[in-house]
């Protein structure tokens, strides 16, 4: 009978323990957790603070008592593992409450320490009204502090998932909240123009967003009363939330002499085994491979952590299953807006020197004649030759989740855009259109690959126009009156065949409409009439998002 000791619960640790018991009824399984809770819903923490999740108990996926009863596990909460003695195959444990220290032996050790919030090194960061959001006690503390002190103004530092979720939560609690982000955009998993949709949405809802700004000093005596920024400006505040992301917690592994990877995460092989043959690691603390590119990455997401824990248990039980990597699929709710991504974005591919093409469509979430339809922006990134899907991003209001899931599946299955054209997806007017948004993006990508249309991005248009290109807006006169790109000539697509003599044949022609469909039709007309023409990706809607 083998003995497996698991350090850390939540996603990876609890998944390892439950799977291992299902595979081996006789194994001795001991789980150590330095906190009170072994399995809780990290991703639900912000929604408990504002009462969206009313019951605290709802965050508890499994209690120690319930998990012991079902899986016959030796679960020891409030117990911190302080040292690994590899040569002796022992760990040193300290009871957090009594300070008692003892040693525990193992045949296999599984490290699931997770990630810890990134805490910027700035004066005042340790004051009592500065909070992280990592566990249930953190959410308890924030909820109690807000309710007890009648907070009216708050500041969130960092525009990642947690930062944006806390922005929504505090806003819904009628707390005037400012989000401070050091880069030019929130949600770095998106490309700039897709994040701009979020920026514009926040502005439309009178929510303060400060980009290219850093907190340099948190001013106040016992409590932060003012956040001083790199620009010299300052924000009055009564509460500060750290939302600048997380970093892997690796000190235990590092002190034990286990190898760390180039990303700073615990180095593991394809079977999630560390540099010690009797020690595995899983979850937010490990360095893994990117499924699309094979590069070394950190992916602090619940889905990959659960999968890794399941695989570790299989490997300890002798089933030898490889972890094939993560593609970083994620989704965010921000009030009424939804943003999602999977695979690689343009910034990442450029940094890696990987060639790619993109297309962008703005389809309706379902049939426009059925009430409640709204528009989404879907960006597809694919290889220039075979059209293999490399990544996708969607920002919209309804139906974003099911489309990103289809595209995430296509990446995992190695599909190309022509395969996506063939997908037969569920259709009825309340749910989709006869051509689903995924199909529509695939057709747009296929047109580019088949050279039925040549495309250009908005960022390239000013230089092209400066060098003599002729810009045409193919929308109606009424649409143009509501906003137009400076310097564009208006020829409605339905009038195009009768107005060909107005268009210079000695210049490159650039076309756009509202979302790209009418200008694509215009491209086909002009191309077959001997013009040199390109379509501007995403139309006027993408132009507005690029600002």
Query: Three-state secondary structure along 250-314?
Result: CHHHHHCCCCECCCCCEECCCCCECCCCCEEECCCCEEEEECCCCCEECCCCHHHHHHHHHHHHH
The pLDDT tens digits of the residues spanning 257-280 come to 999 999 999 999 999 999 999 999
- In angstroms, rounded to a whole number, what is the distance separating the alpha carbons of residues 49 and 64? 23
For the CA atoms of the chain, what is the radius of gyration?
A: 27
Q: What is the pTM of this model?
A: 0.93
- In angstroms, rounded to a whole number, what is the distance separating the alpha carbons of residues 532 and 546? 25
Q: What confidence score (pLDDT) does residue 121 get? A: 92
SS3 467: coil
Is residue 139 within 8 Å of 247, Cβ to Cβ?
no
- pLDDT band, residue 46 (cuts 50/70/90): confident
Whether 359 is a known active-site residue: answer no
The pLDDT tens digits of the residues spanning 140-178 come to 899 999 999 999 999 999 999 999 999 999 999 999 999
The pLDDT tens digits of the residues spanning 97-150 come to 999 999 999 999 999 999 988 899 999 999 999 999 888 888 889 999 999 999
* CA-wise closest residue to 365 among 295, 428, 419, 407: 428
Instruction: Tell me how many helices (H) and strands (E) the chain has.
Output: 16, 33
DSSP 508: -
Q: Which residue among 43, 112, 359, 492 is the active-site one? A: 43
Ramachandran angles phi, psi of 511, nearest 5°: -115, 145
Cβ atoms within 10 A of the Cβ of 223, count? 16
The pLDDT tens digits of the residues spanning 191-233 come to 999 999 999 999 999 999 999 999 999 999 999 999 999 999 9
Residue-by-residue DSSP string for 87-128: TTTEEEEEETTT--EEEEE-SEEEE---EEE-----TTTTST
Residue 63 has pLDDT above 90, yes or no: no
- In angstroms, rounded to a whole number, what is the distance separating the alpha carbons of residues 125 and 22? 45
Q: What confidence score (pLDDT) does residue 365 get? A: 96
């Amino acid at each position: 009978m083998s003995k497996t000791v698991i350090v850390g619960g939540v996603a990876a640790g609890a998944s390892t323990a439950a799977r291992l018991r299902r595979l081996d009824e006789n194994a001795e399984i001991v789980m150590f957790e330095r906190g009170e809770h072994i399995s809780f819903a990290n991703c639900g923490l912000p929604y408990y603070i504002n009462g969206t999740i009313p019951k605290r108990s709802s965050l508890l996926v499994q209690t120690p008592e319930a998990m012991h009863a079902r899986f016959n596990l030796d679960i020891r909460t409030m117990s911190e593992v302080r040292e690994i003695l590899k040569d002796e195959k022992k760990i040193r444990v300290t009871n957090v409450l009594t300070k008692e220290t003892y040693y525990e032996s193992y045949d296999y050790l599984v490290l699931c320490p997770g990630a810890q919030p990134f805490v910027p090194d700035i004066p005042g960061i340790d004051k009592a009204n500065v909070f992280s959001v990592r566990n249930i006690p953190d959410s308890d503390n924030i909820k109690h502090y807000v309710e007890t002190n009648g907070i009216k103004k708050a500041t969130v530092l960092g525009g990642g998932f947690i930062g944006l979720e806390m922005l929504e939560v505090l806003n819904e609690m009628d707390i005037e909240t400012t989000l401070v982000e050091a880069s030019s955009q929130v949600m770095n998993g998106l490309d700039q123009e897709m994040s701009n949709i979020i920026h514009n949405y926040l502005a439309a809802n009178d929510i303060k967003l400060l980009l290219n700004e850093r907190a340099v000093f948190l001013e106040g005596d016992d409590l932060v009363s003012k956040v001083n920024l790199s620009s010299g400006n300052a924000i009055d505040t009564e509460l500060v939330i750290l939302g600048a992301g997380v970093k892997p917690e690796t000190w235990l592994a590092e002190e034990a002499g286990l190898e760390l990877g180039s990303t700073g995460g615990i180095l593991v092989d394809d079977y999630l085994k560390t540099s010690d043959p009797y020690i595995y690691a899983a979850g937010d603390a490990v360095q893994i491979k990117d499924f699309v590119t094979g590069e070394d990455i950190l992916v602090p997401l619940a889905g990959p952590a659960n999968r890794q824990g399941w695989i570790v248990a299989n490997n300890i039980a002798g089933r030898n299953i490889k972890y094939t990597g993560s593609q970083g699929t994620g989704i965010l709710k921000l009030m009424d807006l939804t943003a999602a991504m999977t695979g690689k974005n343009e910034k990442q591919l450029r940094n890696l020197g990987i060639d790619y093409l993109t297309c962008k469509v703005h389809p309706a979430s379902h049939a426009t004649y059925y009430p409640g339809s709204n528009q989404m922006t879907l960006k597809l990134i694919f290889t220039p030759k075979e059209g293999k899907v490399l990544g996708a991003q969607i920002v919209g209001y309804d139906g974003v989740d099911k489309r990103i899931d289809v595209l995430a599946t296509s990446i995992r299955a190695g599909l190309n855009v022509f395969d996506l054209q063939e997908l037969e997806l569920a259709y009825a007017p309340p749910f989709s259109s006869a051509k689903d948004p995924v199909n529509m993006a695939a057709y747009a990508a296929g047109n580019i690959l088949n050279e039925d249309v040549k495309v250009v991005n908005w960022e390239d248009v000013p230089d092209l126009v400066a060098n003599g290109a002729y810009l045409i807006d193919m929308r109606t006169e009424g649409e143009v009156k509501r906003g137009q790109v400076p310097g564009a000539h208006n020829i409605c697509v339905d009038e195009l065949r009768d107005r060909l003599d107005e268009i210079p044949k000695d210049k490159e022609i650039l076309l756009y409409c509202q979302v790209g469909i009418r200008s694509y039709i215009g491209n086909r007309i002009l191309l077959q009439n001997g013009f040199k023409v390109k379509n501007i990706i995403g139309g006027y809607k993408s132009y507005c998002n690029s600002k």
